[in-house]
Amino acid sequence: MPQSAERVAPDVESLRIEVAAMVSRSRVGGLFYLAGWLLVAAASQGFVRFPMESVLLAAGFAVLAVLRFVLRPALGAGREVLLQLRRLHWGILLLTAVLWGGGLGWVLVEPAFTATRPAAVVCSILFATAYAHSYPMSLVGSLVCMSFVYLPAPLLVDEGEGGRPVQLALGIYALYLIATALRAHREYREHLALQGALRGQRDRFEQLSQHDGLTGLLNHAEFAAQLARVAEQCRRSGRGACLLLLDIDHFKQVNDRLGHLVGDEVLRAFAARLRRHFAPIDQAVVARWGGEEFAVLWTGAEAGEAAAQAESFLEGLRTEPLLGDGPRVRASAGVGQLVPGGAPSALLAAVDRALYQAKAEGRDRVVLAARGATQAQEGASSP
């Protein structure tokens, strides 16, 4: 297909925009080829003199016109489906151009069509112009289709249709078509690049609104929203979830003695270690809850299982320094389980109490919240 000569769009969204543009622009175009051929053939009694050839050409244009309506991308179609649709639509456009070019060549050499040759040439000019303006997605594709539709006119027009002057005029217009196709392709690529940049900005704003700028983890607001969604899912499914709150011990001393730059390095390293520790768990979400406090939400886990993972993480801090020769970092953790129908606010309060109990008992340890403390129902007042 013509499009294969060009680079594939770099992302699915750009590809989706390209295919959608092709589908919308070509939807009714096939009907004009059918109408143009019916006009040319009927006015010269082509259906009487050459019934089989004329009907076959009309049927070909009709089938290709119907395919333009039928082949549309499904909602949420993936990359491979979109690539296939793009190839199919360029195939339809190319077949239409070849069919019209063949019909035009026949009309220009067959004396029976003398009366309708000007109409056929005018149609070719219009169709070639449509390719130049409407299909800038592929420069190669539009130029190839234009060539099949348009070239028979300047090559085969004879003295009866104006001879050399008409050929010269058609040649000059061909240069215009090429220039138009080049400009349209350039503007289309610029428009596509602009849309890509806007999507990139949107994604970056979304990233900033949902993630902590220092550590890259989810921020407080987004984690709270996810906790509310998980609580609702647990209520409907009957499954539980576990919440872990971890706080870096004596973090203020790190800032006071070594400075905030080192403190920031500790926070980033702690976040990276926490993310890496829970990465193998598909249903675990890690966030920076605030300051030196971090949170993990683990859907489908039991409290004992979550507490064991928290203890394993703390043991890793003891045996593998966070920053090499930097300050020795320890942490405390509180763990609690969200039962179906439980209120997120009650869970947060219970796990927070467990965390501060761990600190009160000497730090560098895990405390499991009492099960009953996390079971307050939705609607209970927040602590």
Q: Quick one: 309 and 261 in the same domain?
A: yes
Strand partners, 46: none
pLDDT band of 1, cuts 50, 70, 90: very low
More confident residue, 77 or 146: 146
Predicted pLDDT of residue 341: 82
Q: Quick one: 187 and 287 in the same domain?
A: no
Mean confidence (pLDDT) of the chain = 88
More confident residue, 107 or 199: 107
Q: Is residue 368 one of the residues assigned to a domain?
A: yes
Q: Is residue 133 one of the residues assigned to a domain?
A: yes
Q: Is residue 12 one of the residues assigned to a domain?
A: yes
Domain CATH for 310? 3.30.70.270
Angle at 53 between CA 48 and CA 56, to 5 degrees: 115
| Whole-angstrom distance, CA of residue 330 vs CA of residue 363 | 8
Q: Quick one: 23 and 112 in the same domain?
A: yes
Q: Is residue 210 one of the residues assigned to a domain?
A: no
| Position 232 pLDDT exceeds 70 | yes
Residue span of the structural domain in which 102 resides = 2-205
- How large is the average pLDDT for residues 202-208? 74
Q: Is residue 382 one of the residues assigned to a domain?
A: no
- How large is the average pLDDT for residues 149-162? 80
End position of a domain, from candidates 205, 236, 268? 205
Lowest mean pLDDT among 95-99, 262-266, 343-347, 372-376: 372-376
Report helix angle 117-134 to 29-43, nearest 10.
Answer: 170
Predicted pLDDT of residue 151: 93
DSSP secondary structure letter of residue 204: H
Predicted pLDDT of residue 97: 96
SS3 content of the chain, % helix, strand, coil (to 5): 70, 10, 20
Cα torsion at 120, 122, 123, 128 (round to 10°)?
A: 120
Predicted pLDDT of residue 378: 45
Q: Is residue 324 one of the residues assigned to a domain?
A: yes
Predicted pLDDT of residue 268: 95
More confident residue, 372 or 101: 101
Q: Quick one: 46 and 157 in the same domain?
A: yes
End position of a domain, from candidates 174, 205, 236? 205
Residue 295 in contact with residue 243, Cβ under 8 Å?
yes
Q: Quick one: 266 and 147 in the same domain?
A: no
Q: Quick one: 193 and 228 in the same domain?
A: no
Q: Quick one: 178 and 306 in the same domain?
A: no
Q: State how many domains the chain has.
A: 2
Q: Is residue 345 one of the residues assigned to a domain?
A: yes
Q: What is the pTM of this model?
A: 0.59
Q: Quick one: 73 and 141 in the same domain?
A: yes
- How large is the average pLDDT for residues 135-154? 93
Predicted pLDDT of residue 376: 53
Residues 2-11: tens digit of each pLDDT: 443 333 334 7
Predicted pLDDT of residue 159: 58
| Position 74 pLDDT exceeds 60 | yes
| Position 162 pLDDT exceeds 70 | no
| Position 44 pLDDT exceeds 50 | yes
Helix (H, G, I), strand (E, B) or coil at 298: strand
Q: Quick one: 243 and 323 in the same domain?
A: yes
pLDDT band of 315, cuts 50, 70, 90: very high
Predicted pLDDT of residue 374: 60
Predicted pLDDT of residue 379: 41
Residues 273-310: tens digit of each pLDDT: 999 999 998 889 999 999 999 999 999 899 999 999 99
End position of a domain, from candidates 148, 176, 205? 205
Q: Quick one: 157 and 225 in the same domain?
A: no
Q: Is residue 380 one of the residues assigned to a domain?
A: no
Q: Quick one: 235 and 173 in the same domain?
A: no
Q: Quick one: 79 and 185 in the same domain?
A: yes
